[in-house]
A and B are shown apart, each in its own frame.
Chain A
Amino acid sequence: MPERGCEFVIETDRLSKRFGRKLALRELTLRVPRGGIHALVGSNGAGKSTLFRVLLGLLPADGGTSRVLGVDSRRLDPATRGRVGLVHEEHTLPGWMSAGELRRMQRGLYPRWDETCFDEVIGHFQVDARQRVGQLSRGERAGLNLALALAQSPELLILDEPTLGLDVVARQAFLESLLFLGAQEGRTIVYCSHQMDEVERVADDLIVLERGELASLTSPEELCRRITCWVADALPPVLAPGEVPGLLQSRTIGGQQHLVVLDSDDALAARLTALGGRHVERLPLSFDRAINAYLTRDHAAPVAIADPVATTPSAGGAR
């Protein structure tokens, strides 16, 4: 039975999904609270899209459980599906229908259809109702898709890289629609994107997935606060593992070592000096760079194929 009053819109408990030898989701335990915009980020192959598919019952899990709006993902009933909107990256819609026909079809299906909302969102994209969906540009299709999803008045809206491949204008229109019309009282939006500027703009919470595991669940500001950049002269170009705790990234720029470090404090300045560094300085770091350093810390060197037994976190200090 659908549970309207549940505290978490998404709950997973030790959720696993395997494709052949690859573990796409590795005993993922996650709880997304009701309300707000939650950004889901992670590098390619982190398991974001797989998570959505398992949540919506489109893929069977190999282990663990998952619930959406309090309902087991394997038993999502039509009423619960009507409360969950989805916009995915391809914006695949029936190309043989006109935008108007598609709107009429969806309007007949969703009991809480909001005609005004649809008109307002679609107004940003100048989509002709008589035009066939197959003839729309990618941006227009994205707008139509978002308008259809928002007009359903979903309690939970899942956006899986919705701005991928959109130009600046279309992306701007998309985000404005989302911010002004999507984030209504009580609605929860899970926003998955590789565009960190968008994430910084819209997200209340940041969920970081790494190789199918939850790496971090915090606010963007908090994560940004924990990641700092240290600049020093005369440091050895290659630091031994463990010499700088929480090291995410190390680069040599103009003869200076730029170190991006997680959870560092002033004691690190003394440590860098002890390692031979001079003119040690702490610099502010943009969200974009901070999250990129966080996500790419294990990608500096080739990594063995994931294995639940053999693989150990290479940046354990970052957790």
Chain B
Amino acid sequence: MRSLFVSELRRFRRGALVFAAAHLALLVAVSAFDLFTPSPAKLGLGAVLYAVAGLAFGLYQLGTQRRLNMWTFLVHRPLSPGRIFVALAGAGATLLAAVVGLPLLVLVLYTDLLTTAGLDGRQYWLVPFVLGHVLAFYLGGVLVALAPRRAFALVLVLPTLYLTRQAPGGWIFVPLALVVAWLAFLAYRAFKPSLEAPLAGGLTLAAAALPIQYALYFLLVAGSAIAWQTSVVVGEVGWRSYAVHAWNDHFPPGTTDHLDYLDARAALQHGLAAGTVPAAAAGAAHLRRQVELAEVAESVPRVRRWPRRDQPGFLDADLTLVDGEQGVLWTFRHDRMLFRGTDAASGRLVGWLGVAGPAVADPAEAAPLPSVPALFGGRWVVTGPRIWQLDGGLRRLVPRFAVAGDERLTTALDDHGPFLTVLSDRALYLVRARDLEASPVEVAPFARVALPVPMADLQRVQIAELLDGYLVSFVGGRRAERGLGDARQVVGELGADGRFRVVAERRLAPGWPPAYLQRGFILSPLIATLHDVAWAAIRGDGAAEMRAAEMRAALVRPLAPSVRWLALLVAVVSALLTARVLRRRGIDGRRRWGWVAMAAAGGVPALLSCLLLTPPAAPAPRSAWRVRLRGLAAGWRRRGSEGVA
């Protein structure tokens, strides 16, 4: 096995050297900009490039080995296929570590130890993450090269478990490790002397079928959405209207989708017009006239997921305050929980900035921030309960606003001219602009309105300044499409006395019919449930209680009766079709019933995966048909000639 491992290393040694050199050169070029705090677009591009490199290497390495004579030489030897696979894949992984991981590690070490920029310890996580990512796609390539069917390419959906969602902190490595292990297991099982033979074993089949069904589920959900929307455009909206207004005029008032297409003033007016608070009906008309003349501001929650200390650097939004006037870049460092200031032109260290006093040269003398902040507008620094403002001239952070206890802010101070607003997970705060300008320290709000809909559902807040107060509208319904949460619009008057009086309230319904919104569940109850539960577990939104609530809601989701019946019908039809397909393909016994059970739970994706993964029946010999046709023709001729005689 060792000799095979060494042989494979030798096979790619030249290519590996060239790739490693090119990789290092590229990294050096990119590091001049923002290698360690990339924008989401650049992060995505990097992920794609590494994925393509890993996939191409896996496909090439095993694709060239699987040519018949080469494959014979490889597997017909006194070594078990498992050991041969370990030798080859081990060599591949070693090469990837050398050409991908090593240059990255060299650059991280260089930047951290030999440059003035320095790095957080957490930036080192970039190396194992990229290595794991490229390894996942390498194993995917190996699997696709070895698999008996092309459908196995669909298992490449697995990396979305760690790519599309950002698990909090180091937890991102859990789905990454799971995906690598999963693909390694499948590639190991696909490595067998007879490449044409189907994968053996119930566990292997399930491990292959599940991600394939998952990929098919996404394709079906996306495809059905496109088909549905196209039919609505063709049948109801019309292409011309759609080209001009998109969906603006399609959804009926009183739906969350209708509100999504309205500006702040229109949203407020609709809320007042459709409100159902009888006592306020007369006053509502008066308010609507005022809204027509007033400036209407809007605020939306910005921070739903707070960054964690020492989370891998590539998960961060850019944590740099750019002080253009002073020419200083203030970059937040997790290691010290301080901002490190560098001169934008020279890269020289300017100082360390904490939450007490001006920037200092010695980081030990600065007061660290209590938690990793979110940054807004180049000057606002928001931690959970507090907002600071950067004073570039004095090189200090000035505390400007705070909430008490375990309340958490979700915006900075949003400037609306004469007043500013702050949203927390419990309330809306209004601050006068003149108070902020006059005070060098924290300002107190002149009004606090408790959120009438939970933050988890809150989408937008509209605020209009009236003659004698403010009119505030809260729009909830963020989770309405999933049948969860509180979908309401609540409009209230904030009087001079600081009291909030509801003047209009209405329930909101989703704009699309239930069958469209729950099409994922109709197509596959099992995958839809697994999908929602997995995402609720992986993503780091909100507190643990909210995550648990989302997982519970995914398990026991509220469904319209029509959706239940449709899902049941699809499941039954899928199971029956699966049974029929397998009977025609000559698959019986436990394997057949296993597939049927899977189709009953997994619906259409399970049926399709069964079609893709089970070997088709041997085709009927064409000449047999010819023989029968010839026989029939001869019979007719004979009868014809007998008739003539």
Contact = CB atoms under 8 A, between A and B. Distances in A.
Interface string A63-99: 0000000000010111101101010101011101100
Interface string B188-200: 0000011011000
Interface in B579-634: 618-619, 621-624, 626-627
Given A86-B72, A94-B11, A97-B7, A79 B621 contact: no
Interface in A268-283: none
Interface in B10-27: 10-11
Contacts of B7: 94, 96-97, 101, 105
Nearest to A92: B69
A58 B3 contact: no
B624 A309 contact: yes
A58 B79 contact: no
B76 A108 contact: no
Given A21-B619, A105-B7, A310-B623, A60 B80 contact: no
A307 interface: yes
Given A18-B618, A308-B621, A88 B627 contact: no
B621 A21 contact: yes
B621 A60 contact: no
B624 A104 contact: no
B626 A78 contact: no
A142 to B, nearest CB: 13
Nearest to A23: B621
A86 B10 contact: no
Contacts of A109: 3, 77-79
Nearest to A54: B194
A78 B69 contact: no
A305 B622 contact: yes
Given A78-B78, A110-B78, A92 B73 contact: yes
Chain A binding surface, main DSSP class: loop
Contacts of B627: 307, 309-310
Between B68, B78, B193, B194, the greatest number of chain A beta carbons within 10 A of the residue's beta carbon is seen for B78
A20 interface: yes
A60 B196 contact: yes
B67 interface: yes
A59 B196 contact: yes
B70 interface: yes
A144 B73 CA distance: 13
Interface string A287-319: 000000000000000001111111100000000
B75 interface: yes
A246 interface: no
Interface residues of A, number: 42
B618 A62 contact: yes
Contact of A81 (B11, B69, B78, B619): B78
A78 B623 contact: no
A147 to B, nearest CB: 14
A60 B194 contact: yes
Contacts, number: 95
Contacts of A20: 619
A76 B193 contact: yes
A60 B619 contact: no
B4 interface: yes
A117 interface: no
A81 B624 contact: no
A235 interface: no
B196 A90 contact: no
B512 interface: no
Interface string B322-346: 0000000000000000000000000
A71 to B, nearest CB: 13
Given A56-B193, A308-B621, A78 B79 contact: yes
A309 B622 CA distance: 11
Contacts of B194: 57-60, 74
Given A78-B79, A96-B11, A58 B193 contact: yes
Nearest to A80: B78
Contact of A82 (B4, B69, B78): B78
A79 B618 contact: no
B129 interface: no
Given A21-B621, A82-B77, A57 B193 contact: yes
A104 B3 contact: yes
Contacts of A97: 7, 10-11
Given A96-B10, A96-B11, A307-B627, A78 B619 contact: no
Nearest to A49: B68
11 contacts: A58-B71, A62-B618, A81-B77, A88-B69, A92-B70, A92-B73, A96-B11, A101-B7, A104-B3, A306-B623, A311-B623
Interface of B: 2-4, 7, 10-11, 67-73, 75-80, 193-194, 196-197, 618-619, 621-624, 626-627
Interface of A: 18, 20-21, 23, 53, 56-60, 62, 74, 76-79, 81-82, 84, 86, 88, 90, 92-94, 96-97, 101, 104-105, 108-111, 304-311
Given A93-B73, A94-B73, 7 more contacts: A58-B75, A58-B76, A77-B80, A78-B79, A105-B3, A108-B3, A304-B626
